[in-house]
């Protein structure tokens, strides 16, 4: 009987040693190699002709969802067992949907890891017991947290406060007088129940959902009770374009919840909080890389469908974006009502 050939993938040497010690007792299992990052993993798969891949989902140069999908296409016979410290349900579900055969938590007994390996090799699926109840009871669609209703102007003020912008700079940014900004801030503090700029900044750090708007508001600019079904994140360093894209989305899907970010830090914070179904990311974010933003967002929001957009489409950018796991790379000029409707309908499916 031929041995079952296994490969270990984790960026920590000590963890790989622990996995090796635990799995060497599994009957007929032979560990043929170890790797510590995404590049080494793909090279090893081509060299070792393995039957089982035991890997962490967080390694350098590695995007888990798209890599698992690629492995399942190129090596459909390989069984994949994820051994991870991440227990977020959206992360787990994303990898299971991508095609992994099992998901095991690192803090569980070694005997469970051995059992998980044997179950997978026998053709079964495996999920650590502590994850099962959470997956059964998880919410399919994230709900919008309860928060004070803010006007678009108030949200823009709150965003600028969170960035540490002073009143004079806010006035220049919004084309208002300093006195008008002071009046707006007084009204904003009253709505939030705070009495200072520092407390307002702390408030938004605890409630990033306040930066969200609805598609209905984008086209009517009045609050309205709607059934929120689709959460969308727009990442672009141009505030005017974010508003333009928001209006376009609002015309098509008025009950959508819209979040805006102008850089990677904001995008990741809002992504973790809102878990959007769909994200639009500009390929150029001032001095930052929109494709890198897409990669990092997929790590914390594995179920989010990401569209990278650009005013200057480039073949190499398109190639890099698609390799990062995005669903489309679109020219900003092509984002009309028809194309946007198609992208949203695809995301809802």
Total domains, the chain? 3
For tokens 């977020």, the residue is 88
Q: Which of 280, 251, 256, 252 is nearest to 341 (CA)?
A: 252
Q: How far apart are CA 278 and CA 256, in angstroms?
A: 10
Asked which of 110, 137, 164 is the last residue of a domain, the reply is 137
| CATH number of the domain encompassing residue 91 | 3.40.50.2300
CB-count burial class (<10 Å; 0-12, 13-18, 19+) for 302: buried
Q: Contact at 8 Å (CB) between 54 and 9?
A: yes
Judge if 177 and 124 occupy the same domain.
no
Residues 222 and 171 in one domain: no
Helix (H) or strand (E) holding 348: helix 337-348
The answer on pLDDT for 107 being more than 60 is yes
Count of CB atoms within 10 A of residue 107's CB? 9
How far apart CA 164 and CA 251 sit, in angstroms, is 33
Q: What is the SS3 assignment for 329? A: strand
Task: For 217-233, write each residue's pLDDT tens digit.
Answer: 554 443 433 334 578 99
Same domain for 186 and 164: yes
Q: Given this model, what pLDDT does residue 140 score? A: 43
- pLDDT recorded at residue 48: 94
Mean pLDDT of 179-194: 84
Q: pLDDT tier at 241 (50, 70, 90 boundaries)?
A: confident
Integer Cα distance of 276 and 312 in angstroms: 26
> Are 166 and 132 within one domain?
no
Query: Where is mean pLDDT largest: 26-40, 79-93, 326-340?
Result: 26-40
Output b/e per residue, 73-106; b: 16+ Cβ within 10 A. Answer: eeeeebbbbbbbebebbbbbbbbbebbbbbbbbb
On whether both 300 and 179 belong to a single domain, the answer is no
**CATH label of the domain that carries residue 173:** 1.10.10.10
Q: State the pLDDT at residue 37.
A: 92
> Dihedrals φ, ψ of 214, to 5°?
-105, 155
Q: How far apart are CA 219 and CA 157, in angstroms?
A: 20
Do 147 and 111 sit in the same domain of this protein? no
Which of 51-55, 150-154, 155-159 is predicted least confidently?
A: 150-154
3-state secondary structure of 116: helix
> What's the chain's Rg over C-alpha atoms?
23
**Spatial contact of 79 and 120, defined as CB atoms under 8 Å apart:** yes
The answer to whether residues 191 and 267 belong to one domain is: no
User: Mean pLDDT score of the chain, rounded to an integer?
Assistant: 82
Q: Are 34 and 151 within one domain?
A: no
With 90 as the cut, is the pLDDT of residue 234 above it? yes
Angle subtended at Cα 236 by Cα 235 and Cα 239, rounded to the nearest 5 degrees: 120
Q: For the residues 110-127, what does the mean pLDDT come to?
A: 90
Indicate whether 214 pLDDT > 70: no
* One domain for residues 332 and 267: yes
Assess whether 84 and 190 both reside in one domain.
Answer: no
Contact (CB, 8 A) for 241 and 269: no
* pLDDT digit string, tens, across residues 282-297: 988 877 888 999 999 9
Q: Which of 98, 119, 137 is the last residue of a domain?
A: 137
Give the pairing of strands 231-235 and 278-282. Answer: parallel
End of a domain among 209, 238, 257? 209
Measure the CA–CA gap between 13 and 16, rounded to whole angstroms: 5
Give one word for 107, left, alpha or beta, with left for phi > 0 and alpha for psi -120 to 50.
Answer: alpha
125 and 28 housed in the same domain:
yes
> Nearest 10 degrees: CA dihedral of 269, 256, 282, 260?
-40
6's enclosing H/E stretch is: strand 4-9
Residues 96 and 131 in one domain: yes
Length of the chain equals 349
pTM equals 0.43
Q: What angle do CA 11, 12, 16 make, to 5 degrees?
A: 100
For residue 192, pLDDT beyond 80: yes
How much is the average pLDDT of 19-25?
Answer: 91
Domain range for 188 is 142-209
Interval 104-108 mean pLDDT: 84
């Amino acid at each position: 009987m031929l041995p079952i050939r296994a490969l270990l993938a984790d960026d920590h040497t000590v963890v790989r040693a622990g996995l090796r010690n635990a799995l060497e007792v599994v009957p007929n299992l032979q560990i043929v190699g170890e790797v510590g990052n995404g590049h080494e993993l793909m090279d090893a798969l081509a060299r070792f002709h393995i039957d089982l891949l035991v890997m962490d989902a967080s390694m350098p140069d590695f995007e888990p969802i798209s890599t698992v999908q690629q492995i399942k296409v190129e090596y459909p016979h390989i069984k994949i067992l994820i051994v991870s410290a991440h227990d977020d349900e959206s992360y787990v579900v994303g990898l299971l949907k991508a095609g992994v055969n099992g998901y095991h938590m690192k803090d569980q007994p070694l005997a469970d890891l051995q059992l998980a390996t044997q179950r997978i090799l026998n053709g079964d699926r495996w999920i650590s017991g502590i994850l099962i109840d959470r997956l059964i009871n998880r919410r399919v669609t994230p709900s919008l947290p309860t928060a004070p209703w803010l006007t678009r102007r108030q949200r823009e003020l709150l965003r600028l406060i969170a960035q540490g912008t002073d009143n004079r700079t806010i006035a220049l940014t919004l084309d208002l007088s300093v006195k008008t900004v002071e009046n707006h801030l007084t009204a904003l503090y009253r709505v939030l129940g705070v009495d200072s700029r520092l407390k307002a900044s702390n408030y938004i750090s605890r409630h990033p959902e306040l930066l969200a708007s609805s598609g209905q508001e984008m086209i009517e600019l009045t609050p309205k009770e709607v059934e929120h079904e689709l959460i969308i994140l727009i990442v672009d360093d141009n505030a005017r374009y974010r508003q333009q894209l928001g209006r376009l989305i609002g015309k098509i899907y008025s009950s959508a919840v819209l979040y805006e970010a102008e850089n990677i830090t904001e995008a990741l914070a809002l992504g973790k909080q809102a878990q959007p179904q769909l994200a639009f990311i500009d390929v150029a974010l001032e001095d930052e890389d929109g494709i890198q933003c897409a990669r990092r967002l997929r790590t914390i929001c594995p179920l989010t469908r990401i569209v990278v957009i650009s005013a200057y489409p480039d073949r190499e950018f398109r190639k890099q974006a698609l390799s990062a796991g995005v669903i489309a790379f679109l020219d900003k000029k092509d984002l009309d009502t028809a194309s946007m409707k198609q992208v949203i309908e695809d995301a809802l499916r």
